[in-house]
Amino acid sequence: MKSVEEQLKIVLRGCDTVYSQEELRKKITRSVEKNQPLRVKLGMDPTAPDLTLGHTVVLQKLRDFQDCGHKAVLIIGDYTAMIGDPSGRSKTRPVLTPEQVKTNAETYLAQAGKVIDTSPEKLEIRHNSEWLKPLDFADVIRMASKVTVARMMERDTFAKRQKAGIEVFIHELFYPMMQAQDSVEIKADVELGGTDQTFNNLMGRDFQRNMDMAPQVVMVMPILVGTDGTEKMSKSLGNYIGVAEAPSDMFGKVMSIPDELMLNYYTLLTKVDEQRMTELTDSGKTHPRDAKVELGKQIVTKFHDEKAAESAVEEFFRIHGKGKAGLPDDIPEVKVPVDLLADGEISAADLAVCCGFAKSKGEARRLISDNGIRLEGEPLPDPMGMVKVTSGQVVQRGKRKFVRLVVG
RNA sequence: GGGAGUGUACCCAAGUGGCCAAAGGGGACGGGCUGUAAACCCGUUGGCGUUCGCCUUCGAUGGUUCGAAUCCAUCCGCUCCCA
């Protein structure tokens, strides 16, 4: 087992806040002395089927604990999913069906496995329906009697919604309590989460104290900002990079983040050490583009492998480099129906629509007159015109969308 | 239960009888430029034929009117204040 100081160094990297550092030090010290691993809890929300890099920030922290010899306890919130975490939400979450929860949990685990160690001695997986489902109404009342309305409404997301005139439903108030109960049930020593989970996680401490247990240490990680550079990374905002995405997309998306975000990404998503990070993010020392290419490589390597990263870089510059004449490695094929053709020609607008580049002919015409559609690299000149097409030709929308034609 | 508001396109938000397919902003998309899918600048942003028009759209339904996002009625949703 690593020394206390080593462990603290690894485990504290990138952390936003620890409640509290002294307690953490004590717990780790005792764990080393008694050679007994800590139980480190992470609750997962089976609401989204795919993980984004945002989710991996806290998963990586869990991995850090595993690497220090501790036990990860992953809670699948199959029961809490009936409420949905209200954190950061301006709207109530839709309720999930048991089937959705199940399939989401499966893909989640598969994808989380890219970050955490899934060997059984390092990872314990629990479903919170195990202890929440047997509770009867009286148990729930008893639970609710431990927390005041005022305390609950302090919570920023509730307070904000209340103030903004957006409804807050009673059942949402139960979410933090259920999550807190999880900590009691699994006897968590440490709970991890994003900063948006602070309230929920701290409530776990209260519940444990009520049960005369040693309260868990709460460690919250910063929320990863999405590719837009402002909002939290999330699927619904469309500013995400998915764990399961193809190397070229993953790399391209990393290249699209604002330069200012690089330090943040380096800290939270890579293991690059501090000194190297400051070199990379100092534009006097490193060209920002090169720093970003390096970042992209690191990230693609983490979720795929080094070879995939190299070819993603190569492809990126082939397409977006100086000449801009390059083509991606994989181009989907699209059939051009014969009935749109007359003497081997098709109307420019129809072509764009059947390639899937425009939803309507009007949109297609607008795109064409903005030089947005290219055939074999040449912009289509006339939105009203006809063009000759043959199988194998490449049609392109903008810089990134390509399609190969199959006529007939 | 009483009272006051409010519902407009992907989102926010203007519009209170014709000049409204509906201002503005955000987002998204396209172009230019570049250091990249950064930044910045420009453009596009209901559908169908097209230099003119037709069709669908402003919570829902019905009505008034030559004409309604705009007026009236009923209904539905949401919020706030009082009880």
pLDDT one-digit tens code per residue, A237-295: 789 999 999 999 999 999 999 998 999 999 999 999 989 999 998 888 889 999 999 99
pLDDT bracket for residue A322 (50, 70, 90): low
Neighbouring-strand partners of residue A375: A378, A395
CA dihedral defined by A348, A353, A356, A362, rounded to 10 degrees? 110
Percent of chain A with pLDDT over 90: 66
Beta bridge partners of A402: A396
Closest nucleotide over all strands to A347 (CA to C1'): B49
Of A residues 378-407, those with CB within 7 angstroms of nucleic strand B are 383-384, 397-401
A90 is near strand B: CB distance < 7 Å:
no
pLDDT at A218: 96
Q: Is any atom of nucleic acid chain B found less than 7 Å from the CB of residue A120?
A: no
Cis peptide before A183 (omega within 30 of 0): no
Higher-confidence position of A166 and A17: A17
Check whether residue A165 has its CB closer than 7 Å to nucleic acid strand B: yes
Instruction: Give me the phi and psi of A172, to 5 degrees please.
Output: -70, -25
Nearest nt (C1') from A296 Cα: B36
Arithmetic mean of pLDDT, A339-346: 89
The reply to whether the CB atom of residue A284 sits less than 7 A from any atom in nucleic acid chain B is: no
The protein residue nearest nucleotide B39, judged by CA to C1', is: A258
| A264 secondary structure, DSSP code | H
- Residue, of A226 and A99, whose pLDDT is higher: A226
- The whole-number pLDDT of residue A164 equals 67
Run of H or E residues at A124: strand A123-127
Amino acid at A387: V
Q: In the prediction, which pLDDT does A146 show?
A: 86
Work out if A160's Cβ lies within 7 angstroms of strand B: no
- CB of A292 lies under 7 Å from some atom of strand B: yes
CA dihedral A54, A59, A61, A64 (to 10 degrees): -140
Label residue A325 by pLDDT band (50, 70, 90).
low
- Collapsed DSSP state (helix, strand, coil) of residue A350: helix
Is residue A289's beta carbon less than 7 angstroms from any atom in nucleic acid strand B? yes
> Which of the nucleotides in strand B have any atom less than 7 Å away from a protein CB atom?
27-32, 35-39, 43-50, 78-80
Instruction: Identify how many contiguous H helices and E strands chain A contains and give both numbers.
Output: 17, 13
* Better-predicted residue by pLDDT, A83 or A390: A390
Give the CA-to-C1' distance from A93 to B30 in angstroms: 35
CA distance A189 to A383: 65
- Give A231: exposed, middle or buried? Use CB within 10 Å, 0-12, 13-18, 19+: middle
Would you state the pLDDT for residue A324?
A: 54
If phi over 0 gives left and psi between -120 and 50 gives alpha, with beta otherwise, what is residue A356?
left
Q: Does at least one atom of strand B sit less than 7 Å from the CB of A360?
A: yes
Residue nearest to nucleotide B30 (CA to C1'): A372
Task: Name the DSSP letter for residue A240.
Answer: -
Which nt sits closest to A320, CA to C1'? B36
- The pLDDT, as a whole number, for residue A368 is 94
Cβ atoms within 10 A of the Cβ of A2, count? 15
How far does the CA of A87 sit from the C1' of B13, in Å?
A: 26
CB A68 within 8 A of CB A34: no
pLDDT at A38 over 60: yes
- pLDDT value, residue A89: 52
- Tokens representing residue A11 in the block: 């485990």
Query: Would you say the C-beta of A258 is within 7 Å of strand B?
Result: yes
A356 touches strand B (CB under 7 A): no
How far, in whole angstroms, is CA A139 from its chain's centroid? 35
Burial of A241 (0-12, 13-18, 19+ CB in 10 A): buried
Q: Strands of A59-121 (E only): list them.
A: 71-76
Closest nucleotide (C1' vs CA) to A373 is B30
Identify each DSSP E strand in A270-377 by its residue range. 333-336, 345-347, 373-375
Min mean pLDDT across A20-29, A111-120, A313-322, A360-369 is at A313-322
HSE at residue A271, side-chain half, CA atoms within 13 A, is 10
* CB of A91 nearer than 7 A to strand B: no
Distance between the alpha carbon (CA) of A88 and the C1' atom of B20, Å: 38
% of chain A with per-residue pLDDT over 70:
94
* Per-residue model confidence (pLDDT) at position A132: 93
Give residue A92's pLDDT band: very low, low, confident or very high (50, 70, 90): low
For A341 and B37, how far is CA from C1' in angstroms? 34
For helices A4-12 and A53-67, what crossing angle results, to 10°? Answer: 180
Which tops the pLDDT comparison, A304 or A238?
A304
Q: What's the CA–C1' distance between A353 and B46, in Å?
A: 17
Q: Which two tokens stand for residue A348?
A: 């420019």
CA–CA separation, A178 vs A184, rounded Å?
Answer: 10
